[in-house]
Amino acid sequence: MKEFSVIVLAAGKGKRMYSNIPKVLHKICGMPMIYYPIKTLISLKHYIKQIIVVVGYKSEDIKKNLDEFFPKENIEFAYQKELLGTADAVKVALEKIKFENVLILCADTPLLKKDTLLYFIKDYLEGNSVCSIITSKLSYPNQLGKIIRDDNQEIMGIEEQLDSKERDIEVNSGIYIFNKEVLEDNLKKIQINPKKKEYFLTDIISIIYREGFKIRSFSSTEPEEIFGINTRDDLIFAENIIRKRLINQFINNGVYFLDKDSVFIQEGVKIGKDTVIYPFTFIEKNVIIGKNCSIGPFIHIREGTRISSNTQVGNFLELVRCKIGKNVKAKHFGYLGDTVIKDNVNIGAGTVTANFDGKKKNKTIIDKEAFIGSDTILVAPVKIGKKSLTGAGSVVTKNVKPNTVVAGVPAKFLKKVS
């Protein structure tokens, strides 16, 4: 059978993060850490038919996040009442397992790629094994479990490393596939660790070996994929890798970056072909940018903003929940929040939309071919009519009719334009 159940271990607090936030909810490129392995698992629906997330510390917060990001997926939850280790976490999920192949991974491994997991699954099925582990050789000292092999090079166990100085050793990723029956039979044989007072899933490997089963290994070609997040420094490392992956995807789809090392893009951004991204550009999640645009430098595009094709924005500008049309120019410093800008509009330097009245955010609408003069303040809610113009330094507090010039503080009617 090719169907798999998956157990995702997400119950731990993450003490070394020094935070009240559960470790798996710390953000990487705008998304909680757990988002990435769940997204990868969902992409493999041909094999993966059931996802069970084991939660413990602040379980409702984790459940709420997954419900938000994956509302259409039937993700199940198992609750680990006491944090008694990885083997105990697997045990609480076992009663929910529906399929004979059980994939187990940790929620703190956001760098694992879809292809790696896919090939791991295929290798397990082709090998007709009861247990398989993703392993990797790391060239730097680490605290991942060391793979122990016998004289025939068969895996016989996993040895815990504490502050090891060894290099180029084969280590355990913490990603396994088990036959369900073998997992159930041997999980209960794991003894509590006398020092940590926890039940370690790694101990099952030596138990299965002594039972006479061969344990298969699958090598990760990119060691960084098995990297687990335990500290905030680890979080920074993962952020940089995922950010680079996102940018490389855009480059491969026709987006040009003048300096990709100084651009910060979050998960869920869409950018059209032939758009140029200048240095020191920050683009948050859920932003869509059209084709042939010029973005930056020194711009912060906040969540929910939409920018249509052939538009130029940048140079110390912040955009918040804006909908910007085609052929718009907003090329100089300013703030535009909750603003609808229609096609062929020019936004002068220093333009500010005053969108917050102390109680709620209000909208500004700027119609087609309008011209907003430098240092204009638009006090929302307000609408600027088609082909209208505001004089430099104006404070616009009332709607401006089409084909009208206004100026002053507050802005007043000056004349009609054709």
Residue 372, CA atoms < 13 Å, CB-side half-sphere: 35
List residues with catalytic annotation: 332
Q: Which two tokens stand for residue 87?
A: 């083997």
Q: Are 334 and 350 in contact (CB under 8 A)?
A: yes
Per the listing, tokens 């042939």 go with: 292
Residues whose CB is less than 8 angstroms from the CB of residue 368 and which lie 6 or more positions away in sequence, other chains included: 325, 342, 343, 344, 345, 386, 387
SS (H, E, C) the chain: CCCEEEEEEECCCCHHHCCCCCHHHCEECCEECCHHHHHHHHCCCCCEEEEEEEECCCHHHHHHHHHHHCCCCCEEEEECCCCCCHHHHHHHHHCCCCCCEEEEEECCCCCCCHHHHHHHHHHHHHHCCCEEEEEEEECCCCCCCEEEECCCCCEEEEECCCCCCCCCEEEEEEEEEEEHHHHHHHHCCCCCCCCCCCCCCCHHHHHHHHCCCCCEEEECCCHHHHCCCCCHHHHHHHHHHHHHHHHHHHHHCCCEECCHHHCEECCCCEECCCCEECCCEEECCCCEECCCCEECCCEEECCCCEECCCCEECCCEEEECCEECCCCEECCCEEEECEEECCCCEECCCCEEECECCCCECCEEECCCCEECCCCEEECCEEECCCCEECCCCEECCCECCCEEEECCCCEEEEECC
Cα end-to-end distance, the chain, whole Å: 74
